[in-house]
Amino acid sequence: MSIGLLLFMLVVASYRLTRLVVEDSFPPAQWVRDRLTGSEERQVPAMRWVPDWLAELISCRWCASVWVGGGVTLVTWLWIGLPVPLLVWALTASGAAWLLHLEDYFTR
């Protein structure tokens, strides 16, 4: 597999997983997100043990894309190897965040 195709797939996978974590209405993901961050519209209070930084991480697309991109990069690096994993992590995180931004821009 070419490195370009691999990087493209990592960016798209990070984008999709970040969207799942932050804003999708898929019931299992939404249930976990509502319990961790709280939801006023569904009248679900946030759990008391959840720190503020975790609630912010789950609700911020840019923040979540960094950690999701890191996880995707780590799994790929351990599974098949990557030439420069820290640079790939930066690429996947920023690429996923920009795809989320473009999606938001074109759906407004």
66-93 residue pLDDT tens: 999 999 999 999 999 998 999 999 999 9
Higher-pLDDT residue of 29 and 52 is 29
pLDDT, mean over the chain: 87
How confident is the model at residue 26, as a pLDDT?
A: 87
| 3 state DSSP class of 58 | helix
Q: Is the pTM of this model over 0.85?
A: no
Contact 90, 66 (CB under 8 A): no
Domain count, the chain: 1
| pLDDT score, position 47 | 66
- Of 44-48, 58-62, 72-76, 101-105, the one with minimum mean pLDDT is 44-48
Q: Identify whether the C-beta of residue 39 lies closer than 8 Å to the C-beta of residue 17.
A: no
Question: What domain range is 88 assigned to?
Answer: 3-107
